[in-house]
């Protein structure tokens, strides 16, 4: 009530605009023009004033007085206004309001056989009803959406939200559908292109460094190109990853933003972060969007890693020396390396130990480490989406906080993770929209697959402990099975 009563005088005249938040079933429209306690120079005041004014009137439809200006200056003014609008969208986004005149008809969309509302909370961009669900979630949501389309067309969209906490009941949220149909911000596209160019240049640099440091013994052309693809193979895997994820999202009518590549000095490319512009239909669709792409790349990376370890034994002439911390940087890859490579560690007179392996094994190791980082339950990562689809947003938020503390402790052992964590925390990411149906849970098969992926995430992110007796005995036992 405080916010909107302060900003109504500065909005374009729209008496039907919803301008308050209420915990009752009917909104309270502003009748007085109160001034803000905060000054006009307050950043908070200017921020909220812009958001409300943008909700009332679209700046793209505002006429610009360019008749009195020369043609060149008029074009420059149009470019300036468009750039300023895109910059504001980049930082603050858009708000598409729910109008007060539509609220009685929105309540009529709810019925006794679908969702019976008891109380409501009215916000600027949505209205949330709390009550009792009287039918199957998917059936109730479909009936409510059909009634909304019959009354308003495609103006509003209905969702059933439930965070997954103990004793939580589903709530019906009705918001403007125009928010999911907006084009992607141009500045975010430019930033994504700049990140892509930076990753490509970084991959070229890593290829040159690999050829310079690790090719002094191998003079054949095959090894040079293999080392070259040891870096650019990561780019190919990421292209497959993003392509499959976009295809699955398109299958579920969900819009994905142009991905943001994360450059890395160690790998050349440390994954891609993508944002879901529109909401997934249900939690099953959210699980498929988050898991299918990364699951395919996980299987391919594991196969490449095992093939590389096998080629290291069969064709030692095509192998070269790499530091052992590449293989033993994670528990999963370290255990497989002990099983397939035995103790074939060679000291070459340097300060660290070296292992002679095929470059495909290094490619598979790096890809598995990147996948393990993206399976972490952090915001805008696939691991968070998988956990939220299986157990709800409440459990995913708790796991995200625990992961932050764990990663902070892990940074002291792996300095290369610092840049990745900083990019995830401070990057220009947006929070994904919730699934439209958060009540229905995924089936048992998806739950088992998601649980196995979370276990694999722990095995890929935890370091391989040195001189740990249970792991040494397990490696010896697996070696005996393989020898038989």
Task: Please give the average per-residue pLDDT across 67-88, as a whole number.
Answer: 69
Confidence check: pLDDT of 10 > 50:
no
**Which of helix, strand or coil describes residue 421?**
helix
How far separated are the first and last CA of the chain, in Å rounded?
Answer: 75
Domains of the chain: 2-90 (no CATH), 100-180 (3.30.1360), 186-483 (no CATH)
Confidence check: pLDDT of 287 > 90:
yes
**What is the Cα–Cα distance from 436 to 442, expressed in whole angstroms?**
14
CA distances 219 to 181, 227, 368, Å, are 55, 12, 29
pLDDT tens across 169-217, in order? 888 998 888 767 777 777 778 888 888 888 888 877 777 776 666 554 5
Q: Residues 332-347, buried b or exposed e (16+ Cβ, 10 A)?
A: bbbbbbbbbbeeeeee
Closest CA to 376 of 232, 271, 471: 271
Confidence check: pLDDT of 477 > 90:
no
**Burial of 272 (C-beta count, 10 Å sphere; 0-12/13-18/19+):** buried
Do 98 and 125 touch, CB atoms closer than 8 A? Answer: yes
**DSSP state, residue 293:** H
pLDDT tens across 223-268, in order? 555 556 667 788 888 889 999 999 999 999 998 888 888 887 777 7
The whole model's pTM is what?
0.74
* Amino acid 472: pLDDT: 63
Confidence check: pLDDT of 385 > 90:
yes
**At a CB cut-off of 8 Å and minimum separation 6, what does 386 contact?**
287, 290, 291, 375, 377, 450, 453, 454
Do 307 and 356 touch, CB atoms closer than 8 A? Answer: no
CA distances 205 to 202, 265, 361, 365, 424, Å, are 5, 9, 20, 19, 24
Q: Where are the alpha helices (DSSP H) in 20-70?
A: 43-56
Closest CA to 442 of 284, 292, 248, 295: 284
The residue to which tokens 């691991």 are assigned: 383
β-strand partners of 117 = 131
Confidence check: pLDDT of 352 > 90:
no
Residue 151's H or E segment, with its range, is helix 137-152
Confidence check: pLDDT of 346 > 50:
no
**What is the Cα–Cα distance from 244 to 296, expressed in whole angstroms?**
8
Residue 334's H or E segment, with its range, is helix 331-341
**What is the Cα–Cα distance from 164 to 158, expressed in whole angstroms?**
19
């Amino acid at each position: 009530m405080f916010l909107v009563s302060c900003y109504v005088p500065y909005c374009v005249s729209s008496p039907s605009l919803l301008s308050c938040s209420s915990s009752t079933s009917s909104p309270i429209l502003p009748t007085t023009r109160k001034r803000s306690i905060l000054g006009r120079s307050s950043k908070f005041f200017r921020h909220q004033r812009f958001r409300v004014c943008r909700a009332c009137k679209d700046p793209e439809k505002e006429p610009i007085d360019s008749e009195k200006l020369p043609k060149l200056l008029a074009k420059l003014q149009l470019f300036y206004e468009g750039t300023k609008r895109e910059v504001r969208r980049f930082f603050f986004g858009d708000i598409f309001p729910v109008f007060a005149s539509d609220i009685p008809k929105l309540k009529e969309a709810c019925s006794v056989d679908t969702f019976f509302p008891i109380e409501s909370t009215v916000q600027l961009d949505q209205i949330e009803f709390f009550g009792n669900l009287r039918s199957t979630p998917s059936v109730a949501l479909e009936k409510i959406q059909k009634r909304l389309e019959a009354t308003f067309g495609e103006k509003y969209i209905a969702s059933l939200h439930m965070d997954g906490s103990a004793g939580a009941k589903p709530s019906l949220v009705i918001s403007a559908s125009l928010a999911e149909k907006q084009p992607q911000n141009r500045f975010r596209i430019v930033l994504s292109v700049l990140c892509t160019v930076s990753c490509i240049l970084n991959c070229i640099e890593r290829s040159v460094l690999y050829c310079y440091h690790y090719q002094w013994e191998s003079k054949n052309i095959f090894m040079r190109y293999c080392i070259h693809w040891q870096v650019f193979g990561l780019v190919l895997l990421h292209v497959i990853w993003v392509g499959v994820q976009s295809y699955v999202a398109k299958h579920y009518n969900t819009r994905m933003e142009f991905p943001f590549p994360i450059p890395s000095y160690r790998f050349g490319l440390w994954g891609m972060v993508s944002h879901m512009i529109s909401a997934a239909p249900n939690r099953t669709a959210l699980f498929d969007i988050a898991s299918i792409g990364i699951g395919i790349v996980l299987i391919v990376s594991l196969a490449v890693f095992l093939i590389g370890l096998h080629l290291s034994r069969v064709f030692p002439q095509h192998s070269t020396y790499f530091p052992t911390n590449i293989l033993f940087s994670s528990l999963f890859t370290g255990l497989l390396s002990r099983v397939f490579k035995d103790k074939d560690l060679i000291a070459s007179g340097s300060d660290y130990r070296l292992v002679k392996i095929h470059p495909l094994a290094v490619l598979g190791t790096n890809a598995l480490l990147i996948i393990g980082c993206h399976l972490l339950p952090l915001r805008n990562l696939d691991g968070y989406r998988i956990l939220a689809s299986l157990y709800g947003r409440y459990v995913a938020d708790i796991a995200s906080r625990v992961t932050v503390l764990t990663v902070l402790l892990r940074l002291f052992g792996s300095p290369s993770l610092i840049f990745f964590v900083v990019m995830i925390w401070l990057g220009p990411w947006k929070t994904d929209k919730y699934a439209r149906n958060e009540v229905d849970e995924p089936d048992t098969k998806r739950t088992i697959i998601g649980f196995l992926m979370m276990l694999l995430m722990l095995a890929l992110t935890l370091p391989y402990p040195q001189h740990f007796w249970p792991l040494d005995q397990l490696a010896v036992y697996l070696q005996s099975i393989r020898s038989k």
